[in-house]
Amino acid sequence: MAILITTECINCGACEPECPNTAIYEGGANWSLAGQTYGPTDPSPSGAVGFHSNDYFYIVPDKCTECVGFHDEPQCAAVCPVDCCLPDPNWVEPKEQLEAKVAWLEEVDPGRKR
Amino acid sequence: MNVETQSQFDKIFWRGVDLFNAKDFFECHDAFEELWQEDRSDGRLFLQGLIQAAVGCHHLSNGNTSGAISQYMKSLDKLKKYPDDYLELDMKSFRKEIERCFDGACLMNSKGAVYEVDNSFFPELQRIHS
């Protein structure tokens, strides 16, 4: 499942540079994927809505692979001092699905990586 | 900053304590986070407990009662694992005070209203002088 940043977020920004997929954005910022920029009300390619936040850092579900393909555990959660990066119960994805997402991201947006 | 020596640790740690007591909870969390990011000792969870206490107070002072409640719970869960006297701080009193803050946040949250919380509501970290 994708990782969700809860409203406990203190906006310290520790998570954002750790994401290998650049799936984390500062509150209020537009996000991008495969050369396309998305605003706060734009649905993602998968149709996901409601993940954008104006107040806290947020994670784009279409870009989050829970660090599958890069690390043993989600790095945002590992560096978060307040434990507010949690599995999103509304976006459950088994490992195979996450691995497929990695492959898809490599195909559509290979330049996204840090 | 790489925290390589005890004196560097102490300098940042006591700055964090001073910031907490000055009710500058965001800057406080920043100071403790600087230590927490590099700490791999048994004290790592203690530092995180302090961070979460500070963040809980920060959220409560901004009217985010649900965020405060969650942070206070996480803080207490970690701090209770440490002795009452730890790193020269009176943690028994502090935990009690955070419990009081937690109860207050729960009450505010249950009312569903936005409260302006005065700084006097928040606790201080007391140093134990031997």
ipTM comes to 0.83
pLDDT tens, residue by residue, A55-64: 999 999 999 9
pLDDT of residue A112: 84
CB burial string B47-81: b at 16+ within 10 A, e below: bbbbbbbbbbbbbbbeebbebbbbbbbbbbebbee
Write out chain A residues lying below 8 Å of B51, CB-based.
Answer: 81-82
Tens digits of residue pLDDT in B76-100? 999 999 999 999 999 999 999 999 9
| Burial group, residue A57, by CB count within 10 angstroms (0-12, 13-18, 19+) | buried
Query: How close B107 gets to chain A, by Cα (Å)?
Result: 18
Output the pLDDT for position B29.
97
Q: With contacts defined as CB-CB under 8 Å, which chain B residues touch A79?
A: 37
For residues A70 and A39, the answer to whether their CB atoms sit within 8 Å is no
3-state per-residue secondary structure call for B45-75: HHHHHHHHHHHHHHHHHCCCHHHHHHHHHHH
Residues 6+ apart with CB under 8 A from B119: B23, B61
Q: Where are the domains of chain A?
A: 3-112
CATH 3.30.70.20 fits A3-112, yes or no: yes
Q: Which residue of A has its CA nearest to B34?
A: A81
Torsion of CA A75, B47, B30, A28, to 10 degrees: 40
Q: Which CATH number fits domain B6-113: 1.10.1740.10, 3.40.50.150, 1.10.3450.10, 1.10.3720.10?
A: 1.10.3450.10
Cα–Cα distance for residue pair B94/B75, rounded to 1 Å = 11
3-state secondary structure of A9: coil
On whether the CB atoms of residues A23 and A64 are closer than 8 A, the answer is yes
Query: What's the pLDDT score for residue B23?
Result: 97
3-state secondary structure B8-45: HHHHHHHHHHHHHHCCCHHHHHHHHHHHHHHCCCCCHH
For chain A, the average pLDDT equals: 92
Contacts with B55 from chain A: Cβ below 8 Å:
8, 10, 81-82
Q: What are the beta bridge partners of residue A33? A: A36
When CB atoms are compared, the residue of B32, B37, B59 closest to A8 is B59
> Among all residues of chain B, which has the CA nearest to that of A12?
B30
Q: What is the pLDDT of residues A12-67, one digit of tens each?
A: 999 999 999 999 999 999 999 999 999 988 989 988 888 999 999 999 999 999 99
Q: Which residue has the tokens 């434990």?
A: A83
Rounded Cα gap, residues A45 and A25, in angstroms: 17
Contact B67 A79 (CB under 8 A): no
